[in-house]
């Protein structure tokens, strides 16, 4: 490495953020980049650790460890430190088709596996990644590069999320003629409609990459739903191979039997986020075709990135109040003994939406609120939804749960006696994850599925039970990270290329 003592002399720095009360007044990205000189100093912190766990992505005890796309992190950190930004971009694109996406929305399991992070703050990897690609676009280094020749083979990619786009990009570079089918009106899937604009800008970031892929020869068809506009059999008849990257879009509904679940005002998180972004892009919300949280008491049930995005979106609408419920206990501030390095650390994290809510509302004044300066309530269970005479949601009942007292042959917690509480709310957003892919394509093609309803395809091979049909991303592995979707899209492209040509040169 260029500075073998950099990790000893330079403190960790990450990008800044715009003032929370200012940024909830718009839908622009909230990050503020570090100056180039500081970025180069951060690159010097990447130590000559011998075995860099950061880029050896995988699962350890079913927990993410390292970068799934196996980014060459030490290499491009060193190149940035030395000022070789163009070369750093080349290294970055060797393993990741879309670093402008992962650098913004990935939770960075690479940083959780950084060797320096064992006893110091880890290297600022995510910030470095997005800074490299953003500079690449600013300097006009990122250009469309169509393949030199075509193979004559055709491939249909179903779904235009991160897995589908990565798969299409790789197969196109191999010379195949690729058509991507998307049922929405815009390309991008989760990237376009599942992640809010303030975290991932659509025109500037997502559409820019889609336009590059189109310039390289990928054909995109929007508003086409397989099974409705085109049958699944038509795909297999018309194309030499098909890759399914349809995601896991069936939301979990753990409250299906909870009294009051059918009241007006209870929505799945992805319905809320999707309609919001579509209306924003179509008309800057002037068409009113979105679920408006303005003036409402809002409760978000479920944590994670999706729950945080519901918080940030509700605040930008101008909600009256906001709290969020999680049934799990509050995570520790430091790694627990059963969560060792290099696993992703399961610790308490404060994300952008939490900061914004804390800046907007004084949680010390909320009756029954246990976590001051934080919208989250942990170890709390929703027991009933309450409505008015018109069938509209007006409140929710909860109880506290004690995870230190599991029940025999029952749930791993005990309800705390006397902890019943009523919370006023007119809107609830359920951010409870997803149970698997929609089944229409699998049923039409008679695809084998696993016990979780995912399309059955062996990891590393990606071939389904139907010859010439492959599956990748969340529809194969279940709900996961954008970076895992890109990884699987790339690998599925390699195996599809091998199927079509007998061998492959794709990575």
Q: Tokens at residue 260, please? A: 């009051």
Contact 128, 92 (CB under 8 A): no
pLDDT of residue 48: 82
CA 216 vs CA 94, 149, 397: distances in Å? 17, 12, 54
* Count of beta carbons in the 10 Å neighbourhood of residue 433: 16
pLDDT of residue 58: 81
Give every residue of the chain whose pLDDT is below 70, as ranges.
Answer: 1-2
Which of these, 34, 68, 188, 54, lies nearest to 111 by C-alpha position?
A: 54
Which residues, other chains included, contact 62 with Cβ-Cβ below 8 Å and sequence gap of 6+?
Answer: none
Which of these, 248, 291, 287, 286, lies nearest to 273 by C-alpha position?
A: 291
pLDDT digits over 131-149, tens only? 999 999 999 999 999 999 9
State how far the Cα of 182 lies from the Cα of 160, in Å rounded to an integer: 6
Which of these, 488, 476, 484, lies nearest to 447 by C-alpha position?
A: 476
pLDDT of residue 191: 97
Q: Where are the beta strands (DSSP E) in 140-271?
A: 154-158, 177-182, 219-222, 241-244, 250-251, 266-268
* 3-state class (DSSP) for residue 357: helix
Q: Annotate 167-181 with b (16+ C-beta within 10 A) or e (fewer).
A: bbbbbbbbbbbbbbb
pLDDT of residue 1: 63
pLDDT of residue 222: 98
Instruction: Domain 6-138: give its CATH architecture.
Output: Orthogonal Bundle (1.10)
pLDDT of residue 317: 98
State how far the Cα of 192 lies from the Cα of 99, in Å rounded to an integer: 16
Q: For residue 112, which phi and psi values (nearest 5 degrees)?
A: -65, -20
Give pTM, 2 decimals: 0.96
Torsion over CA of 168, 97, 310 and 251, rounded to 10 degrees?
Answer: 40
State how far the Cα of 224 lies from the Cα of 246, in Å rounded to an integer: 13
Q: Where are the beta strands (DSSP E) in 352-403?
A: 376-377, 380-387, 393-402
State how far the Cα of 182 lies from the Cα of 222, in Å rounded to an integer: 5
pLDDT digits over 32-68, tens only? 999 999 999 999 999 888 889 998 888 787 777 899 9
State how far the Cα of 154 lies from the Cα of 471, in Å rounded to an integer: 16
State how far the Cα of 380 lies from the Cα of 101, in Å rounded to an integer: 34
pLDDT digits over 395-447, tens only? 999 999 999 999 988 899 999 999 999 999 999 999 999 999 999 999 999 99
Domain ranges of the chain: 6-138, 154-250+434-501, 253-430
State how far the Cα of 89 lies from the Cα of 408, in Å rounded to an integer: 55
Q: Tokens at residue 437, please? A: 């892919």
Beta strands 31-32; 16-17: pairing state: antiparallel
Say which DSSP state 258 is in: S
Q: Tokens at residue 46, please? A: 């990447």
- Element housing 500 (H / E): helix 482-501
Q: For residue 332, which phi and psi values (nearest 5 degrees)?
A: -75, 165
- Annotate 242-283 with DSSP letters as a single string: EEE-----EE--TTTTSTTTTSBTEEEHHHHHHHHHHHHHHH
- Annotate 29-54 with DSSP letters as a single string: --EEPPPHHHHHHHHTTS---SS-GG
Q: Tokens at residue 300, please? A: 């978000």
pLDDT of residue 56: 82
253-430: same fold as 6-138? no
Is it true that domain 253-430 has CATH number 3.60.140.10? no
Contact 447, 466 (CB under 8 A): yes
CA 449 vs CA 16, 243, 414, 436, 443: distances in Å? 44, 15, 35, 10, 10
Instruction: Domain 154-250+434-501: give its CATH architecture.
Output: 3-Layer(bba) Sandwich (3.50)
């Amino acid at each position: 490495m260029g500075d073998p003592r950099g990790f000893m002399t330079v403190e960790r720095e990450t990008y800044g953020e715009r003032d929370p009360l200012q940024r909830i007044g718009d839908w622009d990205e909230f990050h503020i980049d570090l100056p180039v000189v500081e970025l180069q100093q951060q690159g010097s912190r990447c130590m000559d650790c011998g075995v860099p766990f950061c880029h050896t992505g995988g699962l350890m005890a079913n927990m993410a460890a390292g970068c799934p796309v196996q980014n060459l992190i030490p290499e491009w950190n060193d190149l940035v430190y030395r000022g070789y930004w163009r070369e750093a971009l080349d290294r970055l694109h060797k393993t990741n088709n879309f670093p402008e996406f992962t650098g913004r929305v990935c939770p960075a399991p690479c940083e959780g596996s950084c060797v320096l992070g064992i006893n110091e703050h880890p290297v600022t990897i995510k910030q470095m990644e997005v800074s490299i690609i953003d500079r690449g676009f600013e300097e006009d280094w990122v250009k469309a590069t169509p393949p030199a020749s075509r193979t004559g083979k055709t491939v249909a990619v179903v779904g235009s999320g991160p897995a589908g786009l990565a798969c299409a990009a790789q197969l196109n570079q191999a010379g195949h003629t690729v058509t991507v089918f998307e049922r929405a009106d815009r390309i991008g899937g989760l990237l376009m409609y599942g992640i809010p604009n303030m975290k991932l800008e659509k025109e500037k970031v997502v559409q820019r990459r889609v336009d590059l892929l189109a310039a390289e020869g990928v054909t995109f068809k929007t508003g086409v739903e397989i099974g409705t506009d085109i049958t699944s059999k038509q795909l297999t008849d018309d194309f030499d191979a098909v890759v399914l990257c349809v995601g896991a879009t069936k939301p979990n509904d753990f409250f299906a039997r909870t009294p009051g679940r059918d009241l007006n005002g209870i929505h799945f998180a992805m319905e809320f986020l999707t309609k919001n972004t579509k209306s924003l892009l179509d008309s800057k919300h002037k068409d009113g075709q979105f679920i408006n949280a303005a003036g409402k008491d809002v409760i978000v049930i479920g944590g994670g990135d999706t729950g945080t995005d519901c918080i940030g979106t509700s605040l930008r609408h101008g909600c009256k109040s906001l709290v969020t419920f999680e049934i799990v206990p509050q995570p520790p501030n430091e790694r627990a003994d059963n969560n060792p390095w290099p696993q992703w650390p399961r610790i308490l994290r404060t994300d952008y939406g939490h900061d914004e809510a804390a800046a907007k509302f004084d949680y010390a004044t909320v009756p029954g609120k246990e976590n001051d300066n934080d919208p989250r309530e942990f170890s709390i269970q929703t027991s009933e939804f309450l409505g008015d005479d018109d069938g509209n949601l007006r409140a929710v009942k909860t109880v506290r749960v004690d995870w230190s007292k599991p029940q025999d042959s029952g749930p791993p917690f005990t309800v705390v006696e006397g902890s019943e509480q009523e919370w006023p709310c007119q809107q609830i957003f359920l951010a409870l994850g997803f149970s698997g892919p929609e089944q229409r394509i699998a049923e039409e093609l008679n695809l084998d599925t696993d016990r979780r309803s995912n399309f059955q395809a062996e990891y590393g091979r990606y071939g389904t039970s139907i010859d010439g049909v492959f599956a990748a991303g969340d529809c194969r592995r279940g709900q996961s990270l954008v970076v895992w979707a890109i990884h699987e899209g790339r690998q599925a492209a390699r195996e599809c290329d091998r199927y079509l040509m007998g061998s492959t040169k794709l990575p």
